Amino acid sequence: MKLIFLGPPGAGKGTQAAGVSAHFRVPHISTGDMFRSAIKNETPVGIEAKRYLDAGELVPDSVVIDMVRERLAMDDCKSGYLLDGFPRTVDQAVALDGISEPDAVVEIEVRDEKLLDRLTGRRVCGKCQGTFHVSKLADAHTCPVCGGEVYQREDDRPETISTRLRAYHEQTEPLIGYYSGKDKLCRVNGDSRVEDVFKNILASLE
């Protein structure tokens, strides 16, 4: 199964992708996570990508496409993949069609007002990478799952969020037309409980 998760920042793509990739036994490939790890390890890609992530802007297509091409060539992608956060532009989608055409695209829809609350309240555990809303944490600095330290992503600060939402509407939303034209789009409402969104995603894929 070759899947793409499409949706604005804060729609819950990462959370849902973890469950859906386990369900279909395919690797969950998040380009955002790949960039964050490259930045942490100070690789050439990380050094180039950092300023774009800090500003909430998209990393240039050529950099992302090369990174994804290399990742999809790995053995674990032979049975398929779930791409979370890629493609984000029509040029990236066209490039992906040339590398490995997806079977289906899940678009998770959430209103901008809701996204703002989710993103400003999002906290990530530095140890297990779990994500939580700050309002649900008994202790704002401690992961309720593994006890690790939780932090706010640099690009989840209010000044960067509006740039990210604008990038989504201007550069990524055209992909909805691109994939519905190919009859590959499944639209799912992301504004309900995590378990319900998960069920709806599986139902729409069937």
* Interacting residues with ligand AMP (CB under 6 A): 9, 31-32, 35, 52-53, 56-59, 64, 85-88, 92, 155, 164
For ligand AMP, the closer CB: 107 or 155: 155
- Residue 166 bears catalytic tag: no
Determine the length of the chain. 206
**Min separation Cβ 27 and ligand AMP, Å:** 16
Q: Each residue of 118-129: b (16+ CB within 10 Å) or e? A: bbebbbbbeeee
Out of 13, 25, 78, 182, the active site residue is 13
Out of 71, 153, 184, 187, the active site residue is 153
Residue 199 in tokens: 């069920």
Residue type at 101 in one-letter notation: E
**Min separation Cβ 138 and ligand AMP, Å:** 26
CA pair distance 15, 5, nearest whole angstrom: 11
- Residue 40 bears catalytic tag: no
Q: Each residue of 2-20: b (16+ CB within 10 Å) or e? A: bbbbbbbbbbbbbbbbbeb
For ligand AMP, the closer CB: 142 or 171: 171
Residues assigned a catalytic role: 13, 88, 122, 153, 164
